[in-house]
Amino acid sequence: MQQKILILSANPKDTTPLRLDEEVREIDAGLKRARNRDQFILEQKWAVRPRDIQRAMLDVNPRIIHFSGHGTGNEGLVFEDETGGAKLVDGEALAGLFDLFADQVECIVLNGCYSEVQANAISQHINYVIGMSKAVGDKAAIEFAVGFYDALGAGKPVEFAYKFGCAAIRLAGIPEQLTPTLKKKSSTPPVPDPELNDSDREILTELLIRSGRAEYSARKALCIKIGIEPNQLAFLRQSTDADFALELISYLHSTDDKQALWKICKELEVVFKRGKYASDLENIKSKFNCK
């Protein structure tokens, strides 16, 4: 059975230029040389407006949807308006549309910065949704996409393809392998938890650096205290204090390890006992239902 992949690309004239053509060209080339190439049909839509998304869904009937372009976090993904300018579409609007096609769409890839917000909304209806937890560079976005579709073309399932795409980023020497995040549709309605936002993660990263817990000599002890096996963190050894702190917080956030993040807050409270940072930590810690 053939699977249609719908590529939705948008790079409005008033936004930073992206190498979208290279990304799509590499995906197409990878699928054409794949072992199961006859099972995939690639449909491309460029300079996409919101109306174009609706029409493409009706015309193409895709199994996989791939967005390539800009994301702005809570404000939405960036498509184009009638004049070629930027037009934001939020996650709830996209989720409402894709819900109508939930019986046919298996996976959606949002290959744009800060698109994890939209991925969370859409994953309430679609089995697999991949978003980006922070800004993602052109090169990392392309490496992930190529790896992901190479794996699908080889007959691998979505979860393997996601991991393969992340591995492709790291193999290319780009320290952004933790940026893509995979969301899976839950069989039970999720219990809403307060979200750990970008500001919270920045605070934890800064305080982790300032506390000395991110220094090389203290990293293994920190990992053990928060319940993480040090050997599973490839970035533990070859990274600066700042990079280690950033990678650790990003990793725990992407894996939704609330217990470990809560334990980091407890560790930092020992150092920052009073003042502004103490209240910041208390606020962040309250977002985790942990003891």
* Shared domain check, 175 and 61: yes
* Shared domain check, 34 and 155: yes
Is the C-alpha dihedral spanning 272, 274, 276, 278 positive or negative?
A: positive
Is residue 188 pLDDT above 70, yes or no?
A: no
Q: How many domains does the chain have?
A: 2
* Domain-ending residue, one of 156, 184, 212: 184
Domain assignment of residue 290, yes or no: no
Provide the H-helix boundaries in 44-137: 50-60, 91-99, 116-122
* Domain-ending residue, one of 184, 216, 244: 184
Is residue 201 pLDDT above 80, yes or no?
A: yes
Domain assignment of residue 141, yes or no: yes
* Shared domain check, 147 and 262: no
Tens digit of each residue's pLDDT (9 = 90 or more) over 69-109:
999 998 999 999 999 999 999 999 999 999 999 999 999 99
* Shared domain check, 167 and 121: yes
Task: At 94, give phi and psi (nearest 5°).
Answer: -65, -40
Tens digit of each residue's pLDDT (9 = 90 or more) over 30-83:
999 998 989 999 999 999 999 999 999 999 999 999 999 999 998 999 999 999
CATH of the domain at 147: 3.40.50.1460
Is residue 191 pLDDT above 70, yes or no?
A: no
* Shared domain check, 241 and 106: no
Domain assignment of residue 191, yes or no: no
Task: At 107, give phi and psi (nearest 5°).
Answer: -150, 145
Q: What is the mean pLDDT of the chain?
A: 91
What was the pLDDT predicted at 52?
A: 97
Domain assignment of residue 189, yes or no: no
* Domain-ending residue, one of 152, 184, 216: 184
* Shared domain check, 70 and 207: no
Contact 132, 110 (CB under 8 A): yes
- Count CB neighbours of 28 within 10 A: 15
Domain assignment of residue 193, yes or no: no
- Structural domain including 273 reads 198-285
* Shared domain check, 97 and 33: yes
* Shared domain check, 113 and 56: yes
* Shared domain check, 226 and 134: no
* Shared domain check, 87 and 48: yes
* Shared domain check, 212 and 161: no
* Shared domain check, 177 and 203: no
Domain assignment of residue 192, yes or no: no
Is residue 171 pLDDT above 70, yes or no?
A: yes
Domain assignment of residue 224, yes or no: yes
43: helix, strand or coil: strand
